[in-house]
Amino acid sequence: MSRPQFSEQTPLPERSVTCQKICLWIQLLSEGKSCEPPRFESEYANRIVQAILGYHNTLRTEQRKTQLLDDLLTRLHEGNRVEHLLDFIFANFSDLLPFDRIGLSLLDEESPDVAEAVYMKLREGEPRLAPGYRANIRQSSLYTVLKSGQPRIISDLVEYLNQHPSSHSTKLLIEEGMRSSLTVPLHALGRAVGFLFFSSQSPDAYHEPHVLLLLKIARKLGMAIEKARIIEKLEARNAQLRRLANMVSHDLRTPLSVVTGYVSMFSEGNFGGLTDEQRNVLEKMKKACNQTQMLLDDLLDCALAEAHRLQLHKENFSLPALVDERVDHLRQQLDLRKLDIKVAFDVSLPTITADRERIGRIFDNLLSNAMKFSPSGSTVFITLTRRENDFLMGVRDTGPGLSEEQRKKLFSCFPEIRSSASRGPGRSVGLGLTIAKELVEAHGGHIWVESSPGAGATFWFTIPAA
């Protein structure tokens, strides 16, 4: 097309005024202000205005597509369910895609030739092809769409039904008032998982630009489906692990109680006199049984907490008295490791209302951790403070400290912290800090660590005062 030019007979002042009006109009458009395009007596000037207007509208449409797709992706990352994403599309994409109906069908994971409608929304009228509708797609054109991975446009559903009279789903769509459709296959986890359907009451409603936009939408919905299925599988595996932990902790209690009972009976001389060496062995066995019992308690509480079934038995008690009790319980280990304990607290510290046994377990886990990483001859410090809305408790060791990477993984299940200063094995793997976190949070408190390499570590936790 030839480049439009002003007529030579147009006076120069008039051309200048025309250019000024066009420039002013472009400026208003760039500022997002709504205004009517200027009109001129010159045909060429009007053609320039229409070209600018067409480009402007195309640009606005592309900007809106980008914004809506970005919003869709944001909602996906925020954890919105697939149904919520489709509701968002239904409410916001009508000026970009012609549709009076949106549908989603997913393939049955057990029978991949069977598709089930899981979402359907009509702009008006009663649904005929509703969620729960199932059909074998092996002999239908959807199977070709699935295998090819290419979108399908049906410009006239009535004509399509005449050519495929056995298509029950097409008959239901026509009964809903639909006359054309656009179908896009969905993929997740590297394989086809279903179909996204857009349908319109107008024939010949869909064309290439609609296909390109719907493909972008389908990719994001595929990500949502993939995320949902991964989460579903993880939740199922976690539930299975919780049941296993619950079963193990319960089933081991009976034989453990039998062993503990016989150890006590032997220690008390119910089966005759004991040598010093035998008493020493029995004391070690008793200690091992107690440690196993604590581990089972931790394992069971961890499973209950993850299942949101942990029940707290709250009572009023003195925190300093509880700390003294737990320190006395660990006194023999402290003496063996030549460790000292210093407790700092306000003598007027009021009683706390909490689960006494669980708070004791938190202290046991934090103290045991501090003892493990403190060098022989050092001191472990315990701090108890009442603040405005909670009680603050801290356990500080003089060990090697923690790197930033170690701090990030510290409260995860089965953390592994390697340290040459650790007593016993060269690494620490267990539930101690994990269950401490679960028990603190079950009380409505918070737990954290302050540490840096070479400067020891202080574990703090809070318990609400009310």
Q: Are strands 134-136 and 340-345 parallel, antiparallel or unpaired?
A: unpaired
Q: What is the mean pLDDT of the chain?
A: 81
Residue 250 pLDDT level (bands cut at 50, 70, 90): low
The percentage of residues in the chain with a pLDDT greater than 90, rounded to a whole number, is: 22
pLDDT value at 249 more than 70: no
- In terms of Cβ atoms closer than 10 Å to its own Cβ (0-12, 13-18, 19+), residue 418 is exposed
pLDDT value at 315 more than 50: yes
List the 379-386 sheet strands across, edge first: 340-345, 379-386, 390-396, 457-464, 447-451
CA angle in degrees (0–180, nearest 5) for 295-296-300: 120
- Euclidean distance between CA atoms 21 and 25, whole angstroms: 6
Average pLDDT over residues 65-71: 77
Kindly provide the residue ranges of all beta strands, DSSP E only, lying in 189-348, ordered along the sequence.
191-200, 314-317, 340-345
Residue 241 pLDDT level (bands cut at 50, 70, 90): low
Least confident of 69-78, 195-204, 340-349, 413-422: 413-422
Whether residue 417 contacts residue 377, with contact meaning beta carbons closer than 8 Å, is answered with no
pLDDT of residue 256: 78
- Euclidean distance between CA atoms 213 and 216, whole angstroms: 5
Residue 190 pLDDT level (bands cut at 50, 70, 90): confident
Kindly provide the residue ranges of all beta strands, DSSP E only, lying in 32-133, ordered along the sequence.
101-107, 114-122
pLDDT of residue 7: 47
pLDDT of residue 399: 86
